């Protein structure tokens, strides 16, 4: 990890390093390339904004190993406060194209309560995808409220608030190349 970046001073503890992320993405891409070797029409669906960085790295890793893939993004938002989320999701940006008969892989940065993903999987299935699986870089097993089938998981982490590699606190820290826990003093600044 480089020193001197503005964000390093705000991080209490690194949870997943840049190198660990890189290596895990290569592993996930290998596994997924093998599982989808006979499938045409593979479509990666990234969930904005958090997944933008994982999508960029994962799509490149998969692209070196697999046949052609397409890339789409959706943006969704839970109604009200996240902490009291009802699992009702609002679509801020929908798919641009028809996904019927495509093998969809949802690309998520993190599965927290599972509510977003649970809704999204039903939505994608209702749009007649040939299959729908999920690759999530992070999962918090202790935060799960609804069980969702996540076939490909990068890291299981403890139930604490993490930032970096796409994940934000008040729209900051998304550009960090690693994942970490913020110092408590950061919260008292806002
Ligand atoms: C985060 C994350 C997932 C979702 C997971 O997005 O990117 O999409 O929450 O939480 P859940 O499992 O409890 O539903 P967020 O709503 O913070 O939006 P963002 O990606 O734009 O930051």
Section 62-89 average pLDDT:
80
pLDDT grade, residue 1 (50/70/90)?
A: low
**Is pLDDT larger for residue 79 or for residue 13?**
13
pLDDT reported for residue 67 = 87
DSSP 27-63: HHHHHHHHHTTT---EEEEEEETTTHHHHHHHHHHHH
Closest CA to 163 of 27, 53, 28: 53
The residues annotated as belonging to the active site are: 112
**Predicted pLDDT of residue 7:** 95
Q: 182 C-alpha vs ligand 1 centroid, how far in Å?
A: 18
Let me know: does 9 contact 175? Beta carbons within 8 Å: no
Q: How far does the centroid of ligand 1 lie from the alpha carbon of residue 115, in Å?
A: 9
């Amino acid at each position: 990890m480089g020193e001197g970046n503005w964000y390093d001073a705000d991080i209490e503890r690194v949870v997943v390093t840049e190198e660990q992320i890189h290596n895990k993405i290569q592993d996930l891409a290998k596994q997924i390339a093998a599982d989808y070797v006979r499938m045409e029409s593979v479509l990666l669906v990234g969930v904005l904004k958090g997944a933008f960085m994982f999508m960029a790295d994962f799509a490149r890793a998969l692209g070196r190993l697999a046949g052609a893939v397409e890339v789409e993004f959706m943006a969704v938002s839970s109604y009200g406060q996240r902490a009291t989320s009802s699992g009702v999701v609002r679509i801020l940006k929908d798919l641009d194209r028809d996904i019927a008969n495509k093998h969809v892989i949802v690309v998520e940065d993190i599965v927290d309560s599972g509510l977003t993903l649970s809704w999204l999987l039903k939505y994608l299935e209702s749009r007649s995808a040939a299959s729908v699986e999920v690759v999530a870089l992070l999962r918090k097993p202790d935060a799960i409220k609804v069980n969702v089938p996540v076939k490909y998981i990068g890291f299981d982490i403890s139930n604490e608030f993490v930032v970096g590699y796409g994940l934000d606190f008040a729209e900051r820290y998304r550009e960090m190349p690693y994942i970490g826990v913020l110092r408590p003093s950061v919260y008292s600044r806002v």
